[in-house]
Amino acid sequence: MQKTKELYRGKAKTVYLTDDAEKLVLEFRNDTSAFDGQKIEQLARKGMVNNKFNHFIMSRLEEAGIPTQVEALLSDNESLVKKLDMIPVECVVRNIAAGSIVRRLGVEEGKELDPPTFEFFLKNDELHDPMVNEYHVLSFGWATQEQIDKMKELTFKVNTVLKALFDEAGMLLVDYKLEFGVFNGEIVLGDEFTPDGCRLWDKETREKLDKDRFRQGLGGVVEAYEEVAGRLGVVLD
């Protein structure tokens, strides 16, 4: 499998075409950004940690019957993935109130949400990823009703699998975002699942072990990611 050319460069990952029209190479870089790219830093080892963390999580989800984009680890910073036709919305589930829902609705951070909430957000940095609903997704042709239903089903299935996984490792899965695409007519989980795109707290102390450490200037970002990986049994070296 050979990379041919760069297809897309995001805030923390680069996507490359390969000599197989159905496969891409996903490179996890050390770049770390927040607030729609207004705060950017390079954090040593972060790309490697996220690449191996993502492969571990996606493998667990595959074992649970959730189709994912990831095919194989290629190196410390690169993975081979299926080429998806991405749906331009994020699916967000919240088990505990934190982040934007606290600011939007004035609820207390740490409030347990029963049942968990589900929200759609349009992937658009210029518009700051606004929240949308199913009617927007349908009316603008971003996805069909069948695809919406499948994304919601898989997103909640991910919640069931990963809440238990993190709980066993002494952590709370506070919230997370997922992105989906279409591969050979099937809805498939794409992009990544790393501490960049979810919130994880220590179950006892509620210490933040995710990208909020970067957003809030708490320090120890990569160290926290490595701690999460270690608790789960992810092999980094």
**33 band by pLDDT with thresholds 50, 70 and 90:** confident
Mean pLDDT for the chain? Answer: 96
CB 59 within 8 A of CB 70: yes
Residue 82's H or E segment, with its range, is: strand 78-82
Report pLDDT for 34.
77
The arithmetic mean of pLDDT across residues 153-159, rounded, is: 98
Edge-first strand listing for the sheet containing 13-18: 3-9, 13-18, 23-28, 78-82, 70-73
Collapse the DSSP code of 10 into the 3-class scheme (helix H, G, I; strand E, B; otherwise coil) and give the result: coil
Question: What is the Cα–Cα distance from 204 to 18, expressed in whole angstroms?
Answer: 45
Report pLDDT for 36.
67
What are the φ/ψ torsions at residue 223 (nearest 5 degrees)? -60, -40
> What are the DSSP calls for 21-60, one per residue?
TTEEEEEEPSEEEETTTTEEEE-TTHHHHHHHHHHHHHHH
Question: What is the Cα–Cα distance from 163 to 161, expressed in whole angstroms?
Answer: 6
Neighbouring CB atoms inside 10 A of 54's CB total 26
pTM of the model: 0.95
**What percent of the chain has pLDDT above 90?**
93
Report pLDDT for 37.
64
Residue 67, pLDDT > 70, answer yes
For residue 105, give the nearest of 119, 124, 88, 86 by alpha carbon.
119
Neighbouring CB atoms inside 10 A of 128's CB total 10
| DSSP code, position 68 | B
Residue 100, pLDDT > 70, answer yes
> Domains, the chain, ranges and CATH?
3-82 (3.30.200.20), 85-220 (3.30.470.20)
Residue 38, pLDDT > 80, answer no
CB 46 within 8 A of CB 76: no
Q: Is 30 exposed, middle or buried (0-12, 13-18, 19+ CB in 10 A)?
A: middle
Residue 161, pLDDT > 90, answer yes
**86 band by pLDDT with thresholds 50, 70 and 90:** very high
Higher pLDDT, 39 or 99: 99
